[in-house]
Amino acid sequence: MLKGRHLIDPMDFTTSELDEIFSLAEKIIEDEGRFKDACRGKLLATLFYEPSTRTRFSFEAAMLRLGGSVIGFSEPNSSSVAKGESIRDTIRTISCYADIAVMRHPKEGAPKLASMYSSIPVINAGDGGHQHPTQTLTDLLTIKCLKGQFSNLTIGLCGDLKFGRTVHSLIKATSRYENNRFVLISPKELRVPDYIRKEVLDKNNIQYVEVERLEDVIGELDILYMTRIQRERFFNEEEYLRLKDSYILDMDKVNRAKEDMIIMHPLPRVNEIDYEVDEDKRACYFKQAKYGMYVRMALIMKLLGVEENA
Amino acid sequence: MLNIDSIKNGIVIDHIKAGLGIHIFKYLGLDRADYNVALIKNAESNKLGRKDIIKIENIIELNYDVLGLIDSNITINIIEDEVITKKIKLNLPEEVVNIIKCKNPRCVTSIEPNIKHIFYLVDKQKGEYRCLYCDEAYSNMEV
């Protein structure tokens, strides 16, 4: 039962609960018009303590397409937070007005704290470098719709694997399904943290390799998940400049890939995927953004407990 | 073996890992006690080889969570009229509240006023705890 629950960590839901969300999302994709009034009369509060146009728009579009309404703030200076209101007081007040809340916050654990004091479902829309569970749902729905399965896949993850929270969550989430193999492609300095290697991969006997060159392994992959090397994650400019261009996907590399490989990216991209790749049928990152909206529609409906055929 | 008078009414904290006794002694404020207290260091122990023991000639309030966190092998004996009336075996607590403070500067605990610092046990063998909010890992040895 997902009604009334919070989504704070990508692993909060079991695989069968995730299946419930994905099968509803697929119904929405099939016939979106049927759901245009599913959330009529319901109010979503978007509490964005740091700017994030993409995720906020995705949530707002999801709620509006379900016939619901949206209130909120997109940066803390325009809210009572600027007067020093605590997260607990903010969520308690918002709980009086809205039916469901989405929170992005630069501090790790802020949505968890909010969920402990909230009487309405709280969705974590990113808490610093910690968790971003709806990105994981987006990635999983993309894989389900485009590959038809979550098992028996060779998944390549490329770029900043050290700080990229979407990568860590995706590894954890896809590790719950059978017979997946990971190819971890990154500079030595930006490899996955030890805890992912030990507590997720080694602990569950999952096959993986760590390599430095994308072109050597691209031919093996069913999925290539590209990530941005974020400037703000570096301690100094020199280090950033040395590594930022290490992993650029261009058509030379894509031509070595399987015909049915899919290229994913959480967006926004900087220069890690050449624009010429956008025209290739394997480029799925804009579809992925659309799946993100659909999965958020399904998630909102499930947490609110609204009827599918409302 | 050093001879220390047995106590009439009070507490004996036994099986403390050698070296940790002084920390517990200070944590309990026994260095400022105005009643009989004894800290025995490096006593012989069949189980541990060497151990520390604290004897307190008074009934004081003990936080078992903190003591369990410092050393989960501790045994606490409550003495009444020179007889052990209660024996308490400590464990690593499943959850500790406001004992460890999260040191992660990116954690919400660094900005939210009057927030409870909550840690939960993730690995009993290693004594590993994680912050409920940000998942920062701590070992009980750091306490």
CA distance A261 to chain B (A): 34
Residue B37 forms beta bridges with which residues? B56
Residues of A in contact with B133 (CB under 8 A): 108-110, 112-113
The domains found in chain B, sorted by start residue, are: 10-89 (3.30.70.140), 95-142 (2.30.30)
Mean pLDDT in chain A? Answer: 93
Pick from A10-24, A219-233, B66-80, B113-127 the range whose average pLDDT is largest. A10-24
Of A25-29, A187-191, A218-222, B92-96, the least confident: A187-191
Task: Mark the binding-site residues of A for L-aspartate, compressed into ranges.
Answer: 83, 165, 228
Binding-site residues of A for carbamoyl phosphate: 54-55, 104, 132, 135, 267-268
Sign of the dihedral defined by the CA atoms of residues A206, A225, A140, A132, in that order: positive
Cis peptide before A268 (omega within 30 of 0): yes
How much is the ipTM here? 0.87
- Chain B residue closest in CA terms to A115: B133
Q: What is the mean pLDDT of residues A241-245?
A: 72
What does residue A5 show for φ and ψ, rounded to 5 degrees?
Answer: -80, 165
Contact call for residues A272 and A227 (beta carbons, < 8 A):
yes
Closest Cβ–Cβ partner in B115, B133, B137 for A108: B133
pLDDT band at B10 (very low <50, low <70, confident <90, very high): very high
Q: Where are the beta strands (DSSP E) in chain A?
A: 43-48, 69-73, 100-105, 122-127, 154-158, 181-185, 207-211, 223-226, 262-264
Domain range holding A109? 15-132+293-304
* Res. B1: pLDDT tops 60: no
d(CA B131, CA A87): 18
Cα–chain-centroid distance for residue A259? 25
Residues 6+ apart with CB under 8 A from B14: B51, B53, B74, B75, B76, B77
Q: What is the pLDDT of residue A310?
A: 45
Query: Distance from A106 to chain B by nearest Cα, in Å?
Result: 8
Tell me: do A207 and A70 sit in the same domain: no
Flag if B109 and A109 touch (Cβ within 8 Å): yes
Q: How confident is the model at residue A32 (pLDDT cuts 50, 70, 90)?
A: very high
A99 shares its domain with A87:
yes
Q: Which residues of B touch A130 (CB under 8 A)?
A: 106, 134-135
Question: How many CB pairs (< 8 A) connect A and B?
Answer: 44
Q: Which of B108, B113, B137 sits opposite A109 (nearest CB)?
A: B108
Does any domain span residue A19? Answer: yes
Please indicate, yes or no, whether residues A80 and A172 belong to a single structural domain of this protein: no
CATH number at residue A83: 3.40.50.1370
Average pLDDT on B64-76 reads 91
Q: Give A190's pLDDT tier (boundaries 50, 70, 90).
A: confident
Residues from chain B contacting residue A88 (CB–CB below 8 Å):
112
A194 and A278 belong to one structural domain: yes
DSSP secondary structure string, A182-195? EEEE--GGGPPPHH
Asked if residue A17 lies in contact with residue A278, where contact means CB atoms within 8 angstroms, the answer is no
* Residue among A108, A129, A195 minimizing CB distance to B108: A108
Residues A67 and A209 in one domain: no
Contact (CB, 8 A) for A303 and A157: no
Q: Which range has the worst mean pLDDT, A38-47, A74-83, A94-103, B74-83?
A: A74-83
Q: In this structure, are residues A99 and A90 in contact, taking their beta carbons and an 8 Å threshold?
A: no
Put the strands of the sheet holding A43-48 in their side by side order: A69-73, A43-48, A100-105, A122-127
SS3 content of chain A, % helix, strand, coil (to 5): 45, 15, 40
- Find chain B residues with C-beta within 8 A of A87's C-beta: 108, 112
The pLDDT tens digits of the residues spanning A256-308 come to 999 999 999 999 888 899 999 999 999 999 999 999 999 999 999 999 999 77
Tell which residue, A123, A134, A145, has the closest CA to residue A23. A145
Rounded distance between C-alpha atoms, residue B34 and residue A124, angstroms: 53
Helices A133-147, A285-304: inter-axial angle, 10-degree rounding: 120
pLDDT digits (tens, 9 = 90+) for A85-105: 999 999 999 999 999 999 999
Chain A residue numbers with beta carbons less than 8 Å from the beta carbon of B113 are 86
Q: Write the pLDDT tens digit of every residue in B77-86.
A: 999 999 999 9
- How far, rounded to the nearest angstrom, does the alpha carbon of residue A207 sit from its chain's CA centroid? 23
Mark yes or no for CB contact B108/A112 under 8 Å: yes
